[in-house]
Structure 1
Amino acid sequence: MFSPLWSDHPATRRAKLTALVIELVRANKRLLVVGRDHHTTDEVLGAIARAMRGAGLQFKSLLSRYELPAQSDVAGLALQDLGFETQMNRFYAKSRADKATLRRKYDRFRELSPLLAFKAEKQRDLDEVKLLEWRLLTQVSDLQGKIKDINATLAEYEALTIWKRLSMQAVGKNVGSLNEYRSIYEQSVQTILAELEVAKRRIEALSPEAAIPKDIRPEYHELKDEIKKLGGTKKIRELLAAEEGTNRQAFLQTKRVVATTAARVVSDPLFARVRFDVLIADEAPFIPAPFLLSAAGLVRERIVLFGDPRDIPEAKAWRPAWASPIGRK
C-alpha cells in the first residue's frame, strides 16, 4: 500500500511521522526509515526516540541508526548509543560475557555433581553403620538388663521360699544355670562391645567423607535449577558449542525500527538480505527516485512518503530521464 502524507509544515510532518512509527511499533511491525542525508536522518531518529520514550517504549532496544550518527546528540539524546555498530558490539560483547559466565556455572555444576554423588553414597554407608550401631546398643542394653535380673535373682535366692526355688528349678533356673546364663550374656556383651568399637571407628571415618559444607548444597541446587530453566545439560552443551562470531544480519533483524540514509540502502549489500513491513521516507521529494524504489523493494506491506509536495519540482529528485539534459539528447 502506498501512502503519501504531504504537509507544507515541517513540525506537522514530523509529528505525524513519529505518531505513525509508534502505532506501527505497537502493532509489532518492522520499519525501515530512510532520510535524504545524514543530518536529516539524525533529526528524524532523535524525534522518533523522544516520541518512543514519551510513549513508554524501550527505544534503545527497538531503534537503531544503521550508519554512524553524524551528530553526537539531538535534543539531549545521545545518538551514539543508538548506532548500529555500537549496539551490535555491546550485544555480542555481553553475549560472550554471558556465555563465559554460563560456562563457569556449567563447569561448577559438573564439578559438584560427582562430589555430591560421592557424599550421598558415603551418607548412605554412614546411615547403615549408625543403624547397626543402634541395633548393637539395643542388644547390649537388653543383655545387660538380663544380667542385672540374674544378679538380683542370685542375691535373693537364699531368701526365697522352698516352693519358689522348686518352681524356678522346674523351668531350669537354679544357681548353676543362672550363673551359666550370666556368663553367656557377659560374653555376648563383650563380643557386641567389640563390634560397637568397630562401628564407632567406621562412623568416625565416614562422617567427614559424608559431610557437605553448608554452602555447597544451596549452590548446587541453584545451578541445577538454572540449568533446568535453560533446557537441561544437553541444551547447555549446544549453547556453549555454538559459534561466537557476530552476525550482522541476525542482529539487524532484531531491531524494530532501522533508520538510515536512502543511499546506504542502495550501497550496502546487507539490505538486500533483509525485509521490512513498512518503509517510511522522510523528506521524500529530496530522495532520488531510484533510491526510493530500491528501498521500496525491501518492504512487504506499506510505503509511506513524508514531505512537502511543493519540493518535488524544486528538488528535481524525481525528474524522469527524458527530462534531463542527457535524456533530451
Structure 2
Amino acid sequence: MTGTELIEWWITRLEAERIRLTETGQDAPVVASQGRLVHTTGGLHLYEFIVPAGVQLSVDLPVSVVPADEEDTTEGVVLRQGGNSLFVQLVDALGCDVPSVTLVPDQAGLVSTSASRLKDMLAKPDLYHLGPTERLASLLQLQDIEAEAFPSASSVFTTVWSDDRSFRRQKLGNLAMELIRANKRILLISPDHLACDEMVGMVGRTMKAGGLNHTTWITRYELPIVSQAGGVDLQALGFEAQMHQFYAKSQGNKASLKHKYDRFRELAPFLSQKEAKQKDLDEVRLLEWRLVTQLRDLQVKMADVQKTLKDFEHLPLFQRLTMQAVGKNAASLKQYCALYQGQMDQLNKELDLAKGRIQQLAPEAAVPSGRRAEFEELQEQIAKLGGTKKVRELLAAEEHPNRQAFIQNRRLVAATPMRVASDPLFSRVRFDVLMVDEAPRIAAPSLLAAAGLVRERIIVSGDPHEIATAGQWAMPRPVTHAAP
C-alpha cells in the first residue's frame, strides 16, 4: 500500500472501532475514590484516584470528572494507570482531597478524533507533509524480521533497532542534540507518559553533558508523571510550567511598565509646573538685574553730581561760567541730587519687591535631586516603546497565552502519540524531524498522524521483535493460494 492507501485503510478501521465502542457501551462510567491532588502546574492539576479492581483505562483517554455533589464537572486526560491507581490530568482543581468522583470515559470520541486527523491529512495535503510518511507507511506494513532489514539510515528515514533500550535511547539523545545544534525542530513521541518522561530525561542529560541549556530548548507537553529523570528536573520542562513562568514574567514586565508609566505621568505635570515657576523666576531675576544696573548708573551719576556740588565754589571762574551756561549751578545740581535720589528710592522699592518675589519663587521652582534625571530616563524608555500612545495600548491589551506561538519557540517537544493525534494544537504546528521512541508499541494511526507534521526526516527507534508481540501495526496479510 502507498501512504495514502494505508491512511485510508486505518480510517476505515478506526470508524469501525468507533461504531463498535458506541454500540457496545464501552464508555461506561467508573466510580473512583480516595482522590488526592498530586501537584499543580500552571492551569493543570494532576490527581490520583483509586478505581475498582478490573477497571482499565487507556493512556490519553479523555474523561469527564463528575464530583459526588454533581457540581463543577471538569474535563481531564488519563496519564497513567498502575494497578488500581489512576493518574488524571484535570483542567480544574477539585481540592486537595476528593472522597469520590465519577469518571466518564470517551474512548469512542478519542478514536473519532484520531480518524478525523487522518481524514484531514488526506483532505488537505498542502497543509501536511506526506513525503516522509510514505517511508513510514512502508515500514508499518512489515513484520519484525523484514523491519529489522529495512534500510536504516537516509536523509529522510532512519531506524535505530536494538533489543537494548538504554542503547536506543542514548542514540536518540545524541541524535536530538545534533539536530538541535543544527537548528532543527523536533517532535519526540513515546508510547506512554512514563516512557516520555524517561526519554526527556535522557535528552536533557545528553544536552547538559554537551554544554547545551536543555531548559531553553525542551518542553514536555503534558504534566510529567515523575519529578526527575536522568538527573533532570522534569517539572521545569513541563509545557504548562514554562508557559506559566513565561506569562508570569510577562505580567511582571507589564506591571513594571505600568509603574513606570504612572510615574512618568506623575512627574510630567510636576516638572511642567516647576518649569513654569523657573520661567517666572528667570524673568524676575532678569528684572532684578536691570533694576540693579539702573540703580548703579544712578548712584554713579549721584556721586558725580555730589562731587561737583562740593567742589563748585572752588572751581575756576571760567569753569563755573561754562557750567552755568548749560544750566548747571549750585541750585540745579541740588535739584539733580533730589531727582536722582527719588529715582533711586523708587528703584530700591522695586528691587525689594523683586527680591521678595525671587525668595518666593526659588523654592517653588526648585527640582529635588534626581527627579529630572529620573523623568528623562522614563521619557527615553517610553519613546523606545513607541511613545505614550503605544504604551497605553500595551497596558490596555489583554494577554491571552498563545500556546501555538510558545510551542513553536521550542526546539524539542515531547509528547505521547495519541495526544499529538488528538490535540488540535498539533494540527497547527509543524516540525522538521519526528523521533519515535519505542515505535513498535505505538499504534500505526498515531504514528501516521505524527508523521504528517514533519517536513524532513523520521527517526524510528525500538526493538523490532516487539512488532509482532505488541500488535500495534497489525494488518491483514495478503492471502496467497497455491496453484492447483
Instruction: Trace 1:78-97 onto structure 2 (pairs within 5 A).
Output: 78-97=233-252
Moved more, 58-67 or 170-179: 170-179
Counterpart residue identity of residue 461, structure 2: F
Change (3 A) 1:29 1:238: farther
1:276-321 per-residue CA deviation (whole Å, 9 max, x = no partner) reads 222111222222211111111222232222234444344332222x
**Structure-2 residue corresponding to 1:327:** none
Determine what percentage of the aligned residue pairs are the same residue. 54
TM-score by length of 1: 0.90
Tell me, yes or no, if structure 1 residue 71 matches structure 2 residue 207: no
**Residues 65, 82 of structure 1: 8 Å contact kept:** yes
> Aligned pair count?
323
The answer as to 2:254 corresponding to 1:99 is yes
- Partners of 1:256 and 1:294 in 2: how far apart? 20
Which of 210, 225, 229 is matched with 2:365 structurally?
210
- Counterpart of 2:453? 298
Return 5+ residue gaps in structure 1 as ranges: 325-329
Length-normalised TM-score, structure 2? 0.63
Q: Distance in 2 between matches of 1:207 and 1:43?
A: 72
3-state SS, counterpart of residue 206 of structure 1: helix
Show the 5 A alignment for 1:200-239. Answer: 200-239=355-394
2:211 to 56, 68, 75: 56
**CA drift at 1:12:** 4.3
1:147 and 2:340 correspond: no
Asked if the contact 1:18–1:51 (Cα under 8 Å) also holds between the matched residues in 2, the reply is yes
In structure 2, the partner of 1:30 is: 185
Instruction: State the distance in 1 between where 2:289 and 2:227 align.
Output: 79
User: What CA distance in whole angstroms lies between the structure 2 residues aligned with 1:171 and 1:7?
Assistant: 127
In the TM superposition, residue 269 of structure 1 has moved relative to its aligned partner by 2.3
Change (3 A) 1:281 1:115: same
Alpha carbon RMSD of aligned pairs, Å? 2.1
Q: Which has the higher helix share?
A: 1
2:37 is matched with none
Aligned match of 1:6 in 139, 154, 160? 160
Is the contact between residue 6 and residue 309 of structure 1 (CA under 8 Å) also seen in structure 2?
no
Q: Structure 2 vs 1, CA of residues 289 and 88 (structure 1 numbering), >3 Å: closer, same or farther?
A: same
Match of 1:319 in 2: 474
Instruction: Evaluate the alpha carbon distance shift between residue 272 and residue 159 of structure 1 in structure 2; reply closer, same or farther with a 3 A threshold.
Output: same
Distance 1:307 1:143, change over 3 A: same
The range that moved more, 1-10 or 288-297, is 1-10
State the secondary structure of the residue aligned to 1:71.
coil
* 1:300 counterpart SS class: strand
Q: Does 1:198 align with 2:353?
A: yes
Counterpart Cα distance in 2 of 1:116 and 1:55: 55
Q: Aligned AA for 1:76?
A: G
Give how far 1:176 is off. Answer: 2.3
Q: Which moved more, 1:288-297 or 1:260-269?
A: 260-269
Deviation at residue 143 of structure 1 after TM alignment: 0.7
State the Cα distance separating 1:229 from its structure 2 match: 2.5
The within-5 A match list for 1:135-284 is: 135-284=290-439
**8 A contact 2:274–2:365 mirrored in 1:** yes
In terms of fraction of residues, the more strand-rich structure is 2
Query: Can you give the 5+ residue segments of structure 2 that lack an aligned partner in the other structure?
Result: 1-131, 133-155, 479-484
Which stretch of structure 1 is more off in the superposition, 112-121 or 221-230? 221-230
